[in-house]
């Protein structure tokens, strides 16, 4: 799934699409747009998507990246799917807390815990 | 500038084209200055985030992504503080008119969180009328509420 220009690593595990970011910084508009499009294609390809996004490699993200995550969440909800976030660095998790998006998203400490949580 | 007007001349200054691929030099130069002054990881995280958000606002909302417009970035550094000023060529705005992005009716909107993050991670954030210039300061001894938690 990972192509030369892809910004994501994608793997399938127990019917769950697991996504990791290649970039350590998810900040600039063009990069975020590209990530949103790639994840959008993954969602479109499944009738009822079950998606795990791991932030294991991510050091920085911006409010624009949060916006893309919200769009992804809405898209998955519209298909009655499930989204989980995991492996978020404490500094980045603080961004989710400040914006109260930790209440909107289902966030797990590790990818393992997130995978176990899927219905 | 960090303590009022004690340093009227900025330590660094750039005029950047209003393109998303043209803004990196400001962030890079400010961060390398903070690294030189031994600002710790949480300080650099806060300043980077706030600078990124302010530049994105200047690019998208202030300059409407018009590549013929510029974004003027100036910064002042002291051993314990950094002040960054980012000015666009737009008409400005009233920051008090920006809706609370954490309100229930706004929580699922994909935009509108940048100013909240700037205020959370920096010690001071001031919009200079008519609102097309933001001045923000990070002080090591009194960082923003998020940066100190």
Determine contact: A10 vs chain B, CB below 8 A: no
**C-alpha distances in angstroms, A80 versus A48, A50, A51, A77, A83?**
6, 9, 12, 5, 10
A12: domain range?
8-117
* CB-closest option in B108, B114, B146 to A104: B108
Q: Which residue is listed with tokens 């998790």?
A: A93
**What's the DSSP call for residue B21?**
G
pLDDT of B115 over the 60 cut:
yes
Distant-in-sequence, close-in-space partners of B138: CB < 8 Å, separation ≥ 6: B43, B46, B47, B50, B81, B82, B121, B122, B123, B144, B147
A50 lies in a domain? Answer: yes
A83 lies in a domain? Answer: yes
Percentage of chain B exceeding pLDDT 90: 85
pLDDT for residue B149? 53
Cβ pair A94:B108 closer than 8 A: no
pLDDT tens, residue by residue, A12-35: 998 999 999 988 887 777 788 889
**What's the DSSP call for residue B62?**
I
Helix (H) or strand (E) holding A39: helix A29-44
Rounded to an integer, what distance in angstroms lies between the CA atom of residue A21 and that of residue A2?
Answer: 11
DSSP bridge partners of B105? none
What CATH number is attached to the domain comprising B140?
A: 3.30.565.10
Q: How far apart are the CA of A77 and the nearest CA of chain B, in angstroms?
A: 12
A48 lies in a domain? Answer: yes
Based on its alpha-carbon atoms, the radius of gyration of chain B, rounded to whole angstroms, reads: 15
Determine contact: B28 vs chain A, CB below 8 A: no
**What's the DSSP call for residue B100?**
-
A21 lies in a domain? Answer: yes
Mean pLDDT of B71-95: 96
Banded pLDDT at B148 (limits 50, 70, 90): low
Cβ pair A63:B53 closer than 8 A: yes
pLDDT of B8 over the 80 cut:
no
Strands A50-54 and A16-21: parallel
pLDDT of B60 over the 50 cut:
yes
A2 lies in a domain? Answer: no
Q: Round the average pLDDT of chain A to a whole number and report it.
A: 92
B113 lies in a domain? Answer: yes
B63: domain range?
12-144
B100 lies in a domain? Answer: yes
pLDDT for residue A24? 83
Strand order in the sheet with A16-21: A8-13, A16-21, A50-54, A82-86, A107-108
Q: Determine the residue of chain A that is closest to B100 in CA distance.
A: A99
Total domains in chain B come to 1
Percentage of chain A exceeding pLDDT 90: 80
Inter-axis angle of helices B24-36 and B41-57, nearest 10: 160
A98 lies in a domain? Answer: yes
| Contacts A28 to B, Cβ<8 Å | 20-21, 23-24, 52
ipTM over 0.90: no
Determine contact: B22 vs chain A, CB below 8 A: no
Cβ–Cβ under 8 Å, residues A44 and A79: no
Mean pLDDT of B108-124: 96
Cβ pair A98:B111 closer than 8 A: no
Distant-in-sequence, close-in-space partners of B97: CB < 8 Å, separation ≥ 6: none
pLDDT tens, residue by residue, A41-81: 999 999 999 999 999 989 999 999 999 999 999 999 999 99
Q: Which residue is listed with tokens 């998020």?
A: B146
* CB-closest option in B108, B111, B116 to A74: B108
B74 lies in a domain? Answer: yes
Mean pLDDT of B112-123: 96
Identify which has the larger pLDDT, B20 or B130: B130
Mean pLDDT of B13-35: 92
Q: Determine the residue of chain A that is closest to B59 in CA distance.
A: A29
């Amino acid at each position: 799934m990972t192509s030369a220009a892809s910004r994501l690593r994608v793997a399938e595990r127990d019917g769950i699409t697991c996504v990791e970011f290649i970039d350590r910084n998810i900040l600039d508009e063009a990069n975020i747009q590209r990530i949103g499009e790639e994840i959008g294609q993954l969602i479109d390809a499944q009738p009822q998507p079950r998606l795990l996004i791991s932030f294991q490699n991510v050091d920085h993200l911006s409010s624009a990246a949060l916006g893309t995550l919200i769009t992804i969440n809405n898209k998955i909800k519209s298909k009655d799917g499930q989204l989980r976030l995991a492996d978020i660095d404490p500094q980045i998790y603080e961004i989710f807390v400040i914006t109260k998006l930790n209440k909107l998203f289902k966030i797990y400490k590790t990818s393992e815990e997130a995978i176990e949580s899927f219905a | 500038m960090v303590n009022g007007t004690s340093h009227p001349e900025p330590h660094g200054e750039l005029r950047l084209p209003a393109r998303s691929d043209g803004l990196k030099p400001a962030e890079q130069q400010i961060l390398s200055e903070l690294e030189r002054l031994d600002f710790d990881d949480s300080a650099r995280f806060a300043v980077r985030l706030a600078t990124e958000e302010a530049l994105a606002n200047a690019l998208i909302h202030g300059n409407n992504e018009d590549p013929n417009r510029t974004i003027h970035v100036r910064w002042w550094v002291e051993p314990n503080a950094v002040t960054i000023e980012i000015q666009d060529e737009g008409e400005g705005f009233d920051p008090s008119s920006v809706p609370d992005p954490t309100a229930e009716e706004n929580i699922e909107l994909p935009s509108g969180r940048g100013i909240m993050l700037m205020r959370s991670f920096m010690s001071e954030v001031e919009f200079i009328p008519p609102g097309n210039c933001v001045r923000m300061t990070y002080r090591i001894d009194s960082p923003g509420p998020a940066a100190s938690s």
